[in-house]
Each structure stands twice: as structure tokens, then as C-alpha cells.
Amino acid sequence: MCNGSIMDKLISFSLPLMLSGMLQLMFNAVDIIVVGRFAGSQALAAVGSTTALINVFTYLFIGISMGTNVLAAQFFAAGKARQMSETVHTSIAFATVSGIVMVFVGIFFSRLALELMETPADVIDQSALYMQIYFLGMPFFMLYNYGAAILRAVGDTKRPLIFLIISGVINAVLNMILVIIFDLSVVGVAVATVISQMISCILVLRCLYRSEGSYQLRLSKMMIKTCYLKQIFRVGIPAGIQSMVINFSNVLLQSSVNSFGSIAMAGYTAANNILGFLFVAVNSVTQTCMSFTGQNFGVRKYKRMDKVLTDCIMLSIVVSLVLGCGSYIFGKEILRIYTENTEVIRCGMEILSYTTVTYFLCGLMDLFPGAMRGMGYSAVPMILSIVGTVGVRIVWIFGIFPRYRSLSVLFISYPASWLLTIIMQVICFYFVRKAVHGNGKNKM
């Protein structure tokens, strides 16, 4: 990451990461497709209505894993073996504890949260049951994500991809068996998800255990060292709070969609799954930017960090425009994979028309904070993202939407919030870059 040409390395690093995210979503899409086609639109709405809520509960801890990625990348690039090892064991121990906490949060608070979202009575029972079973797999989910963050920090994005392929195929097969053959509907989908998460967790921990060098995992060394946890939190907690609050705004948006009934909810579920593919594509470029910036920051190659960002900007725009335009042009055909209900497809297309072609704005919005996190600056980008993204959406949902109630008006808030946030993040990046370059000698 710290020497030679950049663009080819960015592509070779981000591509497995992109494929990993897309495969993860593809297997999640299998959940939705199987439920939508074999259990009906109500079951489809029940599963889809939980996505934003689950993200609110989990993204704080997933954001903290970004702190693990940055800190591990810096220690690994600088050759600090002891610090790297202690960071690995602290991260895995924290992932275990946070996963167990999330089990109890999901079991006891899922239904209450769904009621606060005004989830319709015809789907709330299935939604609550799905969430409670889903959260039983949280320890596996957390351990996989933190383990994968460590592997990405040392430049390995291929093995997490292989692990996802294995667990995802098992998930897809179990979905079809449990839903189609045993008619378990949302219960079958949730159980299949938990089992597949357990398998991916076992594979990534086994990989770390069998690794040689500073990132080798040993259960006997697992403990939380506060000095490393504080450093992880410094980067990770702002990133996690940002993701959590943005997803809270998505919960408010989901509540607005819920007011249109289960057909609109099903359309949003399918459209949101398509948008998920766009997100993981541009997010893989952001993760790549963060990892490359983190390692170059660790060896004080500041000019090279500028080149990393400019190349990532080009890569993010190309990827998001190709996928976004393709998703809009072939939107109806893609939505028909999820459901044959024409009204559901119409609602889905109404949402996609405002969110797909403009998705390159979302990629740019996340890229600048990713670069700043790689340099260890996370708090201010978090505040700006919350003000720009969440602030605009809250004003939109409570100020504009009630006067002009339609899905179109509701989802114009996406590109509007992205654009405002980009402007603020670019200004912030200018001052962070100036401070970093002023603290050391520029070199390639």
C-alpha cells in the first residue's frame, strides 16, 4: 500500500471487498426473493421493515470495527508487532462482549422499537419474531466483521470473500429448504441467516488462529487493553455514531413508508435491497481509501495519501455511475425478480428513480470522511455527516413530506442530503489535510 503505483492496487484491494459486500447482499436478496415469492408480500414487508432498525442497533459496533482497521493498519505498516497483536486480541474480545450484549437488546427491545415505528398490525408479529431470531446470531456477526477488519488492515480482502461465498451458499440453500419445503416463512429465513453467520465467524477466526506473524489470534491472549480500546474508540465511535444516527434517519423514513401500507413497504424493501448493492460498491472504495491512507499515514507518506484520495474519487464515480444508471434502466426487470405484484414494482421504481443515478453523490459523501479517518480524524466528519444527512432528512420528513405526501417527495431527500454533506466534508478535509501536511515533511 505504501510503494509503487496506486490505482492498480486500489482496484485489486477494493474488488474482493466489493464482491464480498455484493455476495453478502446477494444472499440477503435470496432471503427477500424466497420470502416474497413463496410467503407473500406481507412476509416480504415484515423482513424488509426490520433492516433500518437492525442497523441502528448494530452499526455503532460495526463502526468501531473501522477503528480496529485503521489502528491495525498503522501498526502493521510501521512494523510494531507487539502493538499489532494486542490490538487484534483487544478487538476480538470486544467483539465477543458487544455481540452478547446485542443478543439481549434484540430479544427484549425489538417489538417495542417496531411499535414506535408504527409498523402495521398485519406484519408486526412476523417482524418482531424475525428480529429476535436474527439477533441470536449477533456474536457471530460481530466476530466476523472485526476479524475481517483485521485481515483488511494487513491487505487481505480475498479470504473474507471466500468465507462469505461458503457461508452465503449455505444460507441460500437453507432458505429454500426451510421456507419452500418446511414452510417456515420469516422464521426459516432468520434461522438460515444465524447459521450462515456462525459459519463465516468460525472461518475468519480459524484464519486468524492459523496466521503467522503479528495478527495471529490466540484465545489465551484475549483480553481488553484499555490503551488500545481508547485508540480504536477515537476513530471507531464517531464512525459508529455517524452510521447509527444516519440509520436512525432511515428508521424515520421507514416509518413514513409504513404509513402507505404493506404494498409500499414491500416496494421499499426490494428497492432498498438494490440500493444496498450500490452502497457496498462505493463503500468498498471508501474502505480501501481508509486502509491505504491509514498505512501511508503510519509511515508519514503524506503526498501519497493525496494520490490515494484522487484515484479513489475517480474509481468511486465510475463504479457508482455504471451501477446506478444500470439499476435505473433495468429497474423494472430487477424488481420482478423480487415480486410479481405490479403495485409493489411501481412503488419500487418510484423510489429508484430518485436514488440510483444520483448515487455517485453518496460515494463522494463517504469518501472524504474515510480519508480523514485513515489519518485519525473522525469526530468532526461524524458531526458534519449527521448535520448534513440526518438534518436534511428530518427537516424533509417532518416539514415537507406531510404537505406533499408521496414516495417521490420523500426520497428526493436522499440526493439533497448527500449534496449538502459533500460540501461540508470537502471544506473539513481541506483544513485536516493542511494540518497533517504541516506536521511532517512531504515525501513519496
User: Closest Cα to residue 362, out of 281, 254, 244, 253?
Assistant: 281
Contact yes or no for 312/10 (Cβ under 8 A)? yes
Q: How far apart are CA 191 and CA 273, in angstroms?
A: 20
Q: How far apart are CA 200 and CA 17, in angstroms?
A: 15
Q: What are phi and psi of 280, to 5 degrees?
A: -65, -30
- 3-state DSSP assignment of residue 109: helix
pLDDT at site 88:
95
Q: Where are the domains of the chain?
A: 7-438
Q: How far apart are CA 157 and CA 13, in angstroms?
A: 6
What string of H, E and C letters represents the secondary structure of 277-331? HHHHHHHHHHHHHHHHHHHHHHCCCHHHHHHHHHHHHHHHHHHHHHHHHHHHHCH
pLDDT at site 2:
65
Q: How far apart are CA 125 and CA 65, in angstroms?
A: 32
- The type of residue at 391 is G
112 Cβ contact list (under 8 Å, min separation 6)? none
pLDDT at site 287:
83
pLDDT at site 439:
67
- Predicted TM-score (pTM) of this structure: 0.74
Q: Which three cell numbers stand for residue 419?
A: 449534496
CA 251, chain centre distance (Å): 15
- 3-state DSSP assignment of residue 197: helix
pLDDT in tens, the chain (444 residues): 667 778 888 888 788 778 877 776 676 667 777 777 777 667 777 776 677 778 777 777 877 887 888 788 888 888 899 999 999 999 999 999 999 999 999 999 989 988 887 787 878 898 899 999 999 999 999 999 899 989 988 888 788 888 988 988 898 889 889 988 888 888 998 999 899 999 999 999 999 999 988 899 998 899 999 999 998 888 788 777 877 777 777 778 878 888 888 788 888 888 888 888 888 888 889 888 888 888 788 777 888 888 888 999 999 999 999 999 999 999 899 888 877 888 888 888 988 999 999 999 998 998 998 888 888 787 788 888 888 888 888 888 888 888 888 888 888 888 998 999 999 999 998 888 888 877 654 443
41 Cβ contact list (under 8 Å, min separation 6)? 262, 263, 266, 339, 341, 344
Q: How far apart are CA 393 and CA 419, in angstroms?
A: 12
pLDDT at site 444:
37
pLDDT at site 443:
42
Contact yes or no for 182/188 (Cβ under 8 A)? yes
Helix, strand, coil percentages (3-state) for the chain, rounded to 5, are: 85, 0, 15
The per-type count for the chain, helices as H runs and strands as E runs, is 18, 0
